[in-house]
């Protein structure tokens, strides 16, 4: 089974200052600058696996958290509680992210905080189609590929989200492995909260 190690990342987005003829935010002119607004729409990286082209607003914080994440692979089950991606907006086109799990339990494996002694190179690529069902509800479908040092995993995933208000989005998703190297099945639920 997979475990993740804590990760610290710096995300910088060229789309934070919208280029000509492109606006990732509905209702905002393509020539608008992010610095002209108080808070942009919350654009989480979940439930899909594709990273948002938008950063967290300068001086704001966001928490993306998987409350419950269940996985099954070749009959072995794992459960992660509290997979957290904490984001801090440093300026209008850069945010700092740290990712960690509060609890990661695998049948026959260690419980508790992640083991930070094992490192492996991975290259993740995704394609996502997202649709708004109404003003508060959206859905997405992902194709996910993960190149590892000795294998390639491919998945099909789908999810839904519900915007409680402009600062809180609830979500859930499912994921199915499409080849023998991929985990067989996964289901998760969580939220994104902006402060």
Residue 115 in any domain: the answer is yes
Helix (H, G, I), strand (E, B) or coil at 90: strand
Question: If you average pLDDT over every residue of the chain, what do you get?
Answer: 82
Residue 19 pLDDT greater than 70, yes or no: no
For the chain, what is the domain count? 1
Quick check: is 1 in a domain? Answer: no
Q: Starting at the edge strand that comes first in sequence, how are the strands of the sheet with 185-194 ordered?
A: 7-12, 94-106, 76-91, 61-73, 185-194, 168-177, 152-165, 137-148, 122-132
pLDDT tens digits for range 106-161: 765 555 555 555 677 899 999 999 999 999 999 999 999 999 999 999 999 999 99
Does 53 fall in a domain?
Answer: yes
Closest CA to 66 of 163, 189, 194: 189
Residue 58's pLDDT is 87
Indicate the Cα dihedral angle 32, 38, 41, 47, nearest 10°. 120
Query: Does 77 score more than 70 pLDDT?
Result: yes
Model confidence at 11: pLDDT above 50:
yes
Phi and psi, residue 186, nearest 5°: -150, 150
Q: Is residue 2 part of a domain?
A: no
Q: What is the pTM of this model?
A: 0.76
Host domain of residue 109: 7-194
183 located within any domain: yes
End-to-end CA distance of the chain: 34
């Amino acid at each position: 089974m997979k475990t993740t190690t804590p990760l610290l990342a710096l995300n910088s987005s060229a789309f934070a200052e919208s280029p000509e003829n492109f606006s990732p935010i509905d209702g905002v002119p393509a020539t608008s600058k992010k610095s002209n607004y108080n808070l942009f729409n919350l654009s989480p990286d979940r439930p899909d696996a594709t990273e948002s082209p938008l950063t967290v607003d300068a001086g704001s914080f966001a928490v993306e958290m998987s409350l419950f994440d269940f996985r099954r692979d070749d009959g072995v089950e794992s459960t992660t509680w509290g997979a957290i991606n904490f984001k801090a907006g440093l300026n209008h086109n850069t945010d700092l992210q740290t990712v960690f799990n509060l609890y990661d339990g695998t049948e026959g494996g260690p419980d508790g905080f992640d083991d930070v002694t094992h490192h492996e190179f991975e290259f993740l690529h995704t394609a996502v189609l997202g649709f708004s069902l109404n003003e508060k509800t959206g859905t997405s479908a992902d194709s996910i590929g993960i190149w590892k040092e000795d294998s390639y995993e491919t998945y099909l995933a789908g999810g839904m989200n519900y915007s409680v208000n402009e600062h809180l989005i609830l979500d859930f998703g499912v994921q199915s492995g499409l080849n023998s190297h991929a985990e067989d099945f996964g289901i998760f639920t969580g939220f994104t909260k902006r402060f």
